[in-house]
Amino acid sequence: MITEKTKLGNKGENLVTQFLKKQSFKILEQNYRTKFGEVDIIAQKKDVLAFVEVKTRKNEYFPTSMVVNYSKQKKIINAAKHFILKNNISDVVYRFDIATVIMLNSKSEIKYLSDAFRIRTIR
């Protein structure tokens, strides 16, 4: 059974996918899941590979820069490393972005933060 929260999240991810395509990104994966973590959208534009976390809300509780805590960042980074190794990707710039989608009745607003966080240590 699909919950209202899941429907809202899927709608937000689809809006961000459309947004990225308009920015000339190619969508490589959606909802990329591993045992290490999950990435909502993986997109590429030229030599930039963006791993995008999408948060969809009916209200804006926190600024975009604060919606993904350190624990979630680690899971996204681990899933990204898995994707990179599995697909033997090199010679690109890796970036971790956050998109918040605020649903206001029939309208939506996307706030997109490029390079929102970085890998702090390499292990």
Domain harbouring 110, CATH code: 3.40.1350.10
- Spell 73-92 as b/e; 16+ CB within 10 A means b: bebbbbbbbbbbeeeeeeee
Does 10 map to a domain?
Answer: yes
106 HSE (CA, 13 A, CB side): 0
Distance of CA 76 to the CA centre of its chain: 9
Does 122 map to a domain?
Answer: no
Mean pLDDT of 47-62: 87
The side-by-side arrangement of strands in the sheet containing 107-117 is: 26-33, 38-45, 48-57, 93-104, 107-117
* Average model confidence (pLDDT) across the chain: 89
Q: In this predicted structure, what is the pLDDT of residue 103? A: 86
Mean pLDDT of 41-65: 87
Domain that holds residue 65: 4-117
Specify the number of domains making up the chain. 1
Residue 13 has pLDDT above 90, yes or no: yes
Please tell me the total number of residues recorded for the chain in this structure.
123
